[in-house]
Structure 1
């Protein structure tokens, strides 16, 4: 299984500027390579149906489901307190806000790299270099406040495999353009060739 990198979009139907599937489709057209389905408050059947819709928009294995149940897929992203999935999952990520305490996880998101509008008052900001120091040798994605191409490029320059964004795409009047600008900054970074 490939470890996530590039532009990773996290879903939030409550702040999306249109129907969630449409916003995600636009982000993928713009250059998002991975999607993390959050929406943990939805009833199981509704969330599973949404996972199936989003999975059909992506290459196989590129939809990651937040929580230990992959909803018919093979990739999950866990909160710090979530248990590991029982079985049948090929890709496991975990959120961290300090030094990652991992067992069998494949990657970690470190946040907040910058202060974020999605979670105001959440911090302090780690900075790209601070997140890299916390990650050590663990493959990591930068998360939090990455709302400009220059911030995305700074994260990759510091060693992130990519950036995970929520508000920068979900709140954008033009999600395709927002994703495109971030993806272009990531691919243009000399560090992206790693």
Structure 2
């Protein structure tokens, strides 16, 4: 799937869901290009309901993917396709982001089909080699990080920094989205080192004005062109 990868909002499970809905709505209105629902503590039923809810909030205004849970993605896509009119007609789930320890990306592609967006976490040269060995079209982009230490993922690998990201991106077989501890001041430099996009969590989720923060991120992104 071809998608605008420039600015990803990854959700934070620590934010109450009612507030999260508002944050996503404001961020999408301000220009976020991809929303990733990431919640590693919700039950399957809760995550399914939240996926449908955010699909309705986003309403096709940007790409919407779910982290890790292929079962939830498949169930949500089936529900949205089977009951048109129960939610906004353009509510949809576009794909999934998978980590190295999740289900194989080729299995996800086989089940989701060629039109889904599939991202894969890749933090080392070995991960890039594995991505290069996949059949063309299996994965659409790589999530590469962390750039800086971040509290949203306590078990993160050693931070790459902007230069370390640039080295990996230069040798990657796929577009690379930078993630992990990114601040607005990093965005321009990341684009200039080869990022196809940046992904943020707390920068937007903890902002008093998510809409303004996203606008600042987009300005910084454009400055790197």
How much does 1:123 deviate?
4.2
Task: Please report the TM-score for the alignment, with normalisation by the length of structure 2.
Answer: 0.75
Distance in 2, Cα, partners of 1:178 & 1:17:
20
Task: Please report the TM-score for the alignment, with normalisation by the length of structure 1.
Answer: 0.86
Distance in 2, Cα, partners of 1:17 & 1:45:
14
Q: 2:112 aligns with which of 54, 71, 88?
A: 88
How much does 1:4 deviate?
4.5
How much does 1:60 deviate?
6.5
How much does 1:96 deviate?
1.9
Task: Give the RMSD, CA atoms, in angstroms.
Answer: 2.2
76 and 4 in structure 1: CA distance in 2 versus 1, 3 angstrom threshold: farther
For structure 1, which segment, 21-30 or 36-45, has the greater mean C-alpha deviation from structure 2 after superposition?
A: 36-45
Partner of 2:20: 20
Partner of 1:6: 6
Structure number with greater CO (CA < 8 Å, separation at least 6) is 1
List alignment gaps of at least 5 residues for structure 2. Answer: 78-92
Q: 1:168 aligns with which of 203, 206, 219?
A: 203
For structure 1, which segment, 97-106 or 153-162, has the greater mean C-alpha deviation from structure 2 after superposition?
A: 97-106
For structure 1, which segment, 89-98 or 17-26, has the greater mean C-alpha deviation from structure 2 after superposition?
A: 17-26
Partner of 2:90: none
Distance in 2, Cα, partners of 1:158 & 1:92:
23
How much does 1:119 deviate?
3.5
Whether contact under 8 Å (1:74, 1:88) holds in the other structure is no
Q: Does 1:115 pair with 2:154?
A: no
Partner of 2:214: 179
Partner of 1:77: 97
Q: Which has the larger radius of gyration?
A: 2
Distance in 2, Cα, partners of 1:168 & 1:17:
17
The structure richer in helix per residue is: 2
Distance in 1, Cα, partners of 2:6 & 2:16:
21
158 and 18 in structure 1: CA distance in 2 versus 1, 3 angstrom threshold: farther
Partner of 1:42: 42
